Structure 1
Amino acid sequence: MVRELDIEAFIAARVEGALVLDAREGFEFVAGHVPGARWIPLGMLAGSLVSLPRGRAVMVIRSSGSRVGAEPLTRAGFDAASVRGGVPARSLSGRDLAAESA
């Protein structure tokens, strides 16, 4: 089962060293993302699991907060969670987003 974190729990996980994985499309990432997030589009995620650190929590953030991005990680044994509300929820909480090339 995929865990789902609210924005405050997500922020706490980041402070504790969790990796933030942005699984949106490139144009969405470029338009605004969580500072320091690693970008791997959802369609490439399954093939990129070997590049992700084991033993470190991975917080998957998308546009809608859908759990679909964290599912392959959870099945592969990662400590993964989805961020409820996704990037829009983070933005609405008053936290800045970074805008840069993917």
Structure 2
Amino acid sequence: MSAEIDVDQLVEVMATGARVIDVREPDEYAEARVPGVQLIPLATIPDAVGELATHDDTVYVICRSGARSLRAADYLNAHGVEAVSVAGGTMAWIQRGLDYETGEDA
């Protein structure tokens, strides 16, 4: 099973320029998202492995509540991409009172 971090830890790693991908569907992403995340819906993760593998850094994976991001992180780790899931997901981020974006694109 992949490693997990909480949203407070995510704030810290994002401050260092960490790469974060959101594996929700585009309509969920448009509704509310962590600023600076890249949308790669869960169903397209197998297609994105090659591109994600070109980076040496850990990829942090977020979804709504943490279930899909854990599945995506497990898949990525199994395919040579170091990935960490964000426990609690976007909902935990919002509940924590952190800034978030809405709309189709940042």
TM-score range, shorter chain: over 0.9
TM-score for both structures, normalised by structure 1: 0.92
Structure 1 distance, partners of 2:51, 2:9, is 25
Question: What TM-score comes out, normalization by structure 2 length?
Answer: 0.89
For the residues of structure 2 that align with 1:97 and 1:51, how far apart are their CA atoms?
Answer: 26
Q: Is the Cα–Cα contact under 8 Å of residues 63 and 87 in structure 1 kept in the other structure? A: yes
State the one-letter code of the partner of 2:99.
D
SS at match of 1:70: helix
Using the alignment, how far apart are the partners of 1:78 and 1:51 within structure 2?
A: 10
- Report percent identity of matched pairs: 32
Instruction: Structure 2: give runs of 5+ residues left out of the alignment.
Output: none
1:72 to 62, 71, 75: 75
* CA distance, structure 1, for counterparts of residue 100 and residue 92 of structure 2: 11
Aligned residues: 102
Give RMSD over aligned pairs. Answer: 1.2
Deviates further, 13-22 or 27-36: 13-22
